[in-house]
Amino acid sequence: MALQCGIVGLPNVGKSTLFNCLSNAKAQAANFPFCTIEPNVGVITVPDERLNKLAELVHPQRIVPTTVEIVDIAGLVKGASKGEGLGNKFLANIRETDAILHVLRCFDDDNVTHVDGSVNPVRDKEIIDYELQLKDLDTIDARIQKVQKQAQTGGDKTAKQTYDILVKYKEALEQGKSARTVKFETKDEQKIARELFLLTSKPVMYVCNVDEASAVNGNKYVDMVREAVKDEDAEILIVAAKTESDIAELETYEDRQMFLAEVGLEESGVARLIKSAYKLLNLETYFTAGVQEVRAWTYEKGWKAPQCAGVIHTDFEKGFIRAEVIKYDDFIRYGSEAAVKEAGKLGVEGKEYVVQDGDIMHFRFNV
């Protein structure tokens, strides 16, 4: 399943520098607003050490990791919801993504201008929130005009549900709250809410872009962000984008690890960000392992075996018979599928089996 995250923030907070680290695509990282006019899209592999360990045992012809698309969206400014600074186009780009990576400037540097003249990540966050909320209000108002009469005079249950959901969202947005703060109980309501594609309903991760000295523990600006978002259902990640950019330029894995160790980090910001994005979107990974390929597959936590089979091909889900399942730890312990079978550790599961992160799956199907 294709996962797409959009990097947003005010101009000059480090979005394109972070994008460059993530994708190795060289978005223009310049010290002025709107250097990224068209959204840059980079496809990056999801770091998973389990994939390499499986490959060491299976010796496949190829290794296929899962990927994430990162979209570098040009800097938003005050008035973006009304079209300021090419805002309408940028907001449309955000609408197409699964999650928002909101980059906040949490470093002092006189050489990098700030669009509002001073460093204040909480103010910056509120500017972006406000613009996205205004755009969502426009969307809500337009939809209410379409369904209100039908909901109040007709017998259309879906129209009534949609109208009630729109009203709840409108009340929250008018109070300065994002759509993601509104919760719905039933699956029907959740489905209708999802199909509105509101900007502020998307999961958000706040990426605090700090200087190298603050890469491990953060700083006063990061503390301000933590306090401001403590009641939000959001992830916070500390990344020194400039340092990560320097690390990404190094040729060998050993050199990169040495640099990280000198800074005091165990793994790169890129790896931490992608893992956090998976957590944010409630995603997990299962594997298929054979001599042709060892491959990672992304699925939503809680999915059952037929749904996960459908990630490979829709025919696998339609004609699902059973799944043969090996736990990752068992595969590593015994060293091969044959040895796992001999030890009696291969499970045969039906349609109700809830796939677990790290499962090694072999699907039996008939179409």
Are 315 and 356 part of one and the same domain? yes
- pLDDT for the residue numbered 116: 64
Are 208 and 87 part of one and the same domain? yes
Instruction: At 84, list the tokens.
Output: 């300021």
**Residue 159's pLDDT band (cuts 50, 70, 90):** confident
Query: What is the amino acid identity at position 103?
Result: V
CATH number at residue 156: 1.10.150.300
Asked whether residue 270 is assigned to any structural domain, the reply reads: yes
Ligand-binding annotation for 12, yes or no, is yes
CATH number at residue 252: 3.40.50.300
Are 14 and 89 part of one and the same domain? yes
Query: Strand, helix or coil at 59?
Result: coil
Give the whole-angstrom CA distance, residue 44 versus residue 65: 10
> In percent, how much of the chain has pLDDT > 90?
41
Ligand-binding annotation for 14, yes or no, is yes
Query: Average model confidence (pLDDT) for the chain?
Result: 85
Are 18 and 81 part of one and the same domain? yes
Query: Could you give the C-alpha distances from 115 to 34, 110, 135, 176, 195, in angstroms and in order?
Result: 11, 13, 21, 23, 34
Total number of residues shown for the chain: 367
Q: Which of 158, 175, 194 is the last residue of a domain?
A: 194
Ligand-binding annotation for 103, yes or no, is no
Q: Among 155-159, 183-187, 225-229, 261-265, where is mean pLDDT lowest?
A: 155-159
Average pLDDT over residues 93-106: 88
Are 273 and 307 part of one and the same domain? no
Longest alpha-carbon distance in the chain: 69
Asked whether residue 122 is assigned to any structural domain, the reply reads: no
pTM: 0.81
Asked whether residue 98 is assigned to any structural domain, the reply reads: yes
Average pLDDT over residues 85-108: 78
Asked whether residue 274 is assigned to any structural domain, the reply reads: yes
Ligand-binding annotation for 176, yes or no, is no
Note the Cα 253 to chain centre separation in Å.
25
Are 207 and 104 part of one and the same domain? yes
Are 145 and 188 part of one and the same domain? yes
pLDDT digits 0-9 by tens, 18-69? 887 776 544 444 443 334 445 577 778 888 889 999 999 999 999 998 888 8
**Residue 79's pLDDT band (cuts 50, 70, 90):** low
pLDDT digits 0-9 by tens, 257-295? 888 888 888 888 878 888 888 888 889 999 999 999 999
Are 173 and 213 part of one and the same domain? no
Tally the domains of the chain. 3
CATH number at residue 320: 3.10.20.30
Asked whether residue 242 is assigned to any structural domain, the reply reads: yes
Residue 324's domain comprises: 301-363
Are 239 and 221 part of one and the same domain? yes
Q: Which of 153, 172, 194 is the last residue of a domain?
A: 194
Are 187 and 216 part of one and the same domain? no
Ligand-binding annotation for 214, yes or no, is no
Ligand-binding annotation for 268, yes or no, is no
- Is the pLDDT at 225 greater than 50, yes or no? yes
Are 100 and 181 part of one and the same domain? no
Q: Among 65-79, 129-143, 306-320, 346-360, where is mean pLDDT lowest?
A: 65-79
Are 80 and 221 part of one and the same domain? yes
- pLDDT for the residue numbered 39: 56
Query: Could you give the C-alpha distances from 240 to 122, 204, 249, in angstroms and in order?
Result: 18, 19, 15
